[in-house]
Amino acid sequence: MSDAPTADAAGLAARRDEFLGKLGSGLLVMGIVNMTPDSFSDGGLFETAQAALEQARRHVGEGAAIVDVGAESTRPGHTPVPADVEQARLTPALRRLVEACGAPVSVDTSKASVARFAAREGAAFVNDVWGLQRDPDMAPAVAETGMGVVVMHNRDDIDPARDVVDDMRRFFDVSLDIAARAGIARERIILDPGIGFGKTRQQNFEALAGLPALAPYGLPILVGLSRKSLLRELAPDGSTARVEPRLIATIAANLAAAARGATIFRVHDAAEHVAAFRVFDAVARA
């Protein structure tokens, strides 16, 4: 496939800046659309282009400021897929999502070729769970396309002895140096502590509690912990709860993250989070 752009570069930049311009105005929701057969929460539900489009529209209608589309599961124990499979899953839907869902679109990928494809289809952001450190061509791809990027902390191994907050800072120092050398403008970068990735259960909570340590970077912080297994033990008994137990735990954890400086939240349930964040913002501004 040719690398010639098929999406208007000015339009991509406008969608990117539309989202970046909202930062600082309150807590923002990123709605998840998994076009995968094996994602931990909703695998197989949104594989078709029509189902993905309907879910994206639902998120936006409920108040999501951006939609994050993924075509490869990154859950623990997932089976990696090659770039051509990931791109084939996205091809029927991505441009339709960009044109019709009414919000900027991010693509959840760690592969530079998929990121370039996403930019050609009009996606405004790439969400890289390896923080520009897995595919050496990812940072140049982000710089060349003008996309914004979510840089997530991750590790191949889990070491209970690791100081996870210190490790996040060292990891982000490397990622930001890679970004700067590639020519990615700093104002297009968002940091993600990578809850559920390369961490013990305790380290996941330490990472959330340690979010203020990321404040000196002066960059927006995204948290993605929606429905994750570390919340299962904290969720109320499903036999008595009147709403889905892990939704309650997710909202509580996201509000705790917001109190520590997170401003963007990658979630499966947009409406409930928008409502909770409206109250949080009102209290914070008062």
Residue pLDDT tens, the chain, 286 long: 344 445 678 888 999 999 999 998 899 999 999 988 744 454 445 568 898 999 999 999 999 999 999 988 775 555 778 999 999 999 999 999 999 998 999 999 999 999 999 999 999 999 999 999 999 999 999 999 999 999 999 999 999 999 999 999 999 999 999 999 999 999 999 999 999 999 999 999 999 999 999 999 999 999 999 988 888 777 656 545 555 778 888 999 999 999 999 999 999 999 999 999 999 999 998 8
**CA dist., res. 42 & res. 45, Å (int):** 6
Q: Domains (ranges, CATH) in the chain?
A: 22-285 (3.20.20.20)
Please enumerate in sequence order all residues whose Cβ is within 8 A of that of 175, keeping only pairs 6 or more positions apart, or say none: 131, 132, 133, 151
Q: How does DSSP assign 207-275, residue by residue?
A: HHHTGGGGGGG---BEE--TT-GGGGGGSPPTTT-SS-HHHHHHHHHHHHHHHTT--EEEES-HHHHHH
Contact 220, 264 (CB under 8 A): yes
Statement: the pTM of the whole predicted model exceeds 0.95: no
- pLDDT for 76 equals 59
Contact 260, 27 (CB under 8 A): no
Residue in 200, 177, 183, 100 with CA at minimum distance from that of residue 147: 183
Q: Residue with structure tokens 């003008």?
A: 146
Please give the positions annotated as active site: 228, 266
- pLDDT for 5 equals 46
- pLDDT for 231 equals 85
Please enumerate in sequence order all residues whose Cβ is within 8 A of that of 101, keeping only pairs 6 or more positions apart, or say none: 53, 56, 57, 59, 60, 67
Q: Residue with structure tokens 């904290």?
A: 234
Question: What is the number of helices (H) and of strands (E) in the chain?
Answer: 10, 8
Q: Residue 119 CB: number of other CB atoms within 10 A?
A: 25
**CA dist., res. 81 & res. 71, Å (int):** 9
Strand partners, 221: 191
Q: Residue 57 CB: number of other CB atoms within 10 A?
A: 18
